[in-house]
Chain A
Amino acid sequence: MEVNLSKRIMLLLGALLMSIAVCAQAAFTVDVPKVVGLDENFRLVFTATGEPSNFNPPEFKDFDVLAGPSTSTMNSTQIINGKRTDSYQVSYTYILQPKSTGTFSIPAASVTIGGRVYHTNPVSIEVVKGEGSSTSTPSGNAAAPSGTSISSDDIFMKMSVSKGRVVKGETLVATLKLYTKVPIAGFENVKFPSFNGFWSQEIDTPSNIEFTRESVNGKIYNAAVLRRYLLIPQQTGNLIIDQSEMTCLVQVKVSSGVSRSIFDDFFDSYQVVKKRVKAPSLQVNVSPLPSGAPASFAGGVGDFKMSVKLTKDSVNANEAVSLIVSISGSGNLNLIDAPKVEFPADFEVYDTKVSDNASGQGGVKNSGTKVFEYPVIPRGAGVFEIGPVEFSYYDISTQKYKTLNSGKLILRVGQAVEGTDSSVASLPMGINKQSVKSIGNDVRYIRTGVSGFTRANHFFFGSFLFFVFLILIVTAYFAMDKFLSKRIERNRDIAGVKNRRALKVARARLNAAESLMKQNLYSAFFEELHRAILGYCSDKLNLSMAELSRENIAESLEAKFVSKGHIDELISLIDTCEYARFAPDQDKPEMSSNYKRAIKLISELEV
């Protein structure tokens, strides 16, 4: 009964396990040393994770199957932090021996797990003529030579690079490996190389060193990767990766004595010997990138793809939105600068966020995705075009620059919602006016209108023509001046002559009257004066003495445009003369004043 119960529990558990195993990640792998000696037998293990059925082994043409397949099952359950992992493994083990030297491949084996057929990858095995005396477990049992001398053949270090010739910015992987035939107890004074001229990153630093078998020059070594680096050259020319050094603590067997028995091995004591190993320096030829890089080249070398999107297609003003540019691919992803994005001038652009999730096969993190996030806040409403975002890189496979273009992105910005930006909304009107910002600098545009060409070195000032005009004007002035002054002179002369003549006529006419005045002959003077004035008038006006009446004189003088004053003066003078001739003695007009009046009148009439 009890047995029955335990059996039942077992069955139950088994069923449970099986179901879990089916659920777990199924896999089918092969494990085999890479290098074997010709007279060495080795193990080939196919491991199926899950519940396999229908195991279909490959054909071993080039190897003798010494034993196998022997099947072993492993079952494990892990509970870590309450998380349970179950695994169920079946391994099929063969023991093989090579028939001849060379490189042989073992074709794929297949197995069905949970209804699906899984294949192993075909593996190749190199068979060398080496002294593969020991089998399996590399680190402990490698043949240690007796004696304390360890040659550099037994243990050495090597630095290798994936590419010897690269262009600037191209990624390459440097691997530092230790090859040994002797057992190693540990390391001391490890000096890893510095990579001058490279951007370097350790991509693989195994915490416990795993040895795999490799053949070097036909000898089998246990090889282990000490370090792997991802290198990106930053300079051109021959860059040198300098040597790396370390001290290995090698276990050397000290022979205990003469007798050699089967037990000697057990009693042999081991001695630790220090051995300094060096990996020689290495040269990498870095050629510069060809010229003609596009403007949007940001240092990317490799093979990339770009996707550009906005977090939101339409936002309201004063709301944040991000433009996300993700660049994926393989190459020097870490060193790519953020592509330049043209945002509309009204956008507030904040610092670009960069996130990097480089991943890669085999721990080489040279591929992955780099995401640039450009947070912006549009400040005004409208439909805006962003970009296009351009990203250029140097494609190693085609050896050409390639430019990826995202095309234009449209962002619709609605009116700012009241209260979204309280700092602005609470301010009084007019405060949120902004001064016009200068976005860019450029020269002002060229003149396209009037050219205004003149002959070089040709000036009107000081030219012959200029002086000709100058002299012309000056001479014209002087000529004009002379002409005018002459004319005035002449005019003035005519007047003078006339005046003189008129005075002369008047004096002549009044000559007799003057002598009578001097003799003080009163009535005779006035008689003579009267006669002289009337004579003058008859001469002047071409009138006979009979016609000389006052009316006639006035009329004729008026016809000659003599002023009214003069006419009146003349008439009054005649009146005075007539009055004086017949007037009584008491109120006689004065002689000399009347004489002067007459002289003045006649000379004025004459002028």
Chain B
Amino acid sequence: MKRIFILNILIFFCLASYGQSPKELWTEANNNYSKANYEDALAGFKKIEESGYVSSALYYNMGNTYFKLKQIGKSILYYERALKLDPSDKDALNNLQLAREFTLDRIEEIPDFILNTWIKSINYSFSSDVWGYIALVLLAGVALFLLLFKYGPTLRVRKSSFFASMIFLLFFCISIYFSWSQKHVYNLKDTAIIMKPVSTIKSSPDNSGNTLFILHEGTKVSLLDEIGQWKKIELADGRQGWVSSLDIEVI
């Protein structure tokens, strides 16, 4: 046990001496962006991403950098990724809409139900982890109030602690749901962005299939199925087809 601990410390120091910390990379890349050295900034952001760190701010900044480099497809991809981590991110939403102006395909997206938007904005005001901790605290509260309900000294205390425990239970369920849904949405790999300037959508998962329609860079599609190098996609208007997985990038 001790050995493993020492080994861990050693590995940590090796990593620390090998490359800059993500915080340093982050500040450096941001500085490069503000000086309009977009290529350097992008390289910095990519390094952070490769080192295994993510955050909606990172994806948002990458989207901005790609936008400045006029790579609209990539910038849409990263805005979508930022929104996947935090769908209530107003800046990313705004920039995504702006970037979409530059794409060729016009596909109407149905706006979310307002209640849904509210719930989402509450959900994503904390991260999945924070919701997890909140749920545990609430569960502890439920347990406490149940005990108080059972063994309270007077009837009034018992009555009110029963109500309190029920409310805590409700909030516990909600926070568990939020924590779960964030994780679920994150792990869902069901949408993708077209990356090629012109990408043909075939009727079958091979090159010999009929061309059904053509999509352009930056269009969002949902993924339905996969066969080898081909992915079955669906557009927002319901049309389906097969596209080479090289043409798309999963959000």
Contact = CB atoms under 8 A, between A and B. Distances in A.
A469 B143 contact: no
B53 A444 contact: no
Interface in B111-169: 127-129, 131-133, 136, 139-140, 143, 146-147, 150-151
A460 B48 contact: no
Contacts of A455: 52-54
A447 B139 contact: no
Nearest to A484: B151
A67 B187 CA distance: 108
A474 B129 CA distance: 20
A450 B23 CA distance: 9
B136 to A, nearest CB: 5
Interface in A436-453: 441-453
Given A444-B95, A453-B48, A453-B55, A473 B140 contact: yes
A460 B186 CA distance: 13
A127 B29 CA distance: 77
B64 interface: yes
A477 B94 contact: no
A448 B30 contact: yes
A453 B53 contact: yes
A459 B85 CA distance: 12
Interface in B25-62: 26, 30, 33-34, 48, 52-58, 60-61
Interface SS majority for chain B: helix
Contact of A484 (B56, B57, B147): B147
B143 A470 contact: no
Contacts of B56: 452
A443 B30 contact: no
B129 A447 contact: no
A455 B48 CA distance: 11
Contacts of B150: 481, 484-485
Contacts, number: 110
Contacts of B33: 446
B40 to A, nearest CB: 14
A466 interface: yes
B159 to A, nearest CB: 18
A450 B26 CA distance: 10
Contact of A451 (B57, B101, B131, B176): B57
Contact of B146 (A441, A457, A461, A477): A477
Interface of A is mostly: loop
Contacts of A477: 143, 146-147
B21 to A, nearest CB: 10
A443 B95 contact: yes
Given A454-B127, A473-B136, A480 B147 contact: yes
A461 B180 contact: yes
Nearest to B99: A443
B240 interface: no
Nearest to B53: A453
A565 interface: no
Interface of A: 441-457, 459-462, 466, 469-470, 473-474, 476-477, 480-481, 484-485, 488
Interface of B: 22-23, 26, 30, 33-34, 48, 52-58, 60-61, 63-65, 67-68, 91, 94-95, 98-99, 101, 127-129, 131-133, 136, 139-140, 143, 146-147, 150-151, 176, 179-180, 182-183, 186-187
20 contacts: A443-B63, A443-B98, A444-B94, A446-B61, A447-B61, A448-B34, A451-B22, A451-B57, A452-B57, A455-B54, A457-B187, A459-B128, A459-B129, A460-B132, A460-B133, A461-B132, A470-B136, A473-B140, A474-B143, A484-B151
Given A453-B48, A454-B55, A473-B139, 8 more contacts: A446-B61, A446-B65, A447-B61, A451-B55, A455-B52, A455-B53, A462-B183, A470-B139
Q: Which 3 A-B pairs have the closest CB atoms?
A: A477-B143, A460-B129, A453-B53
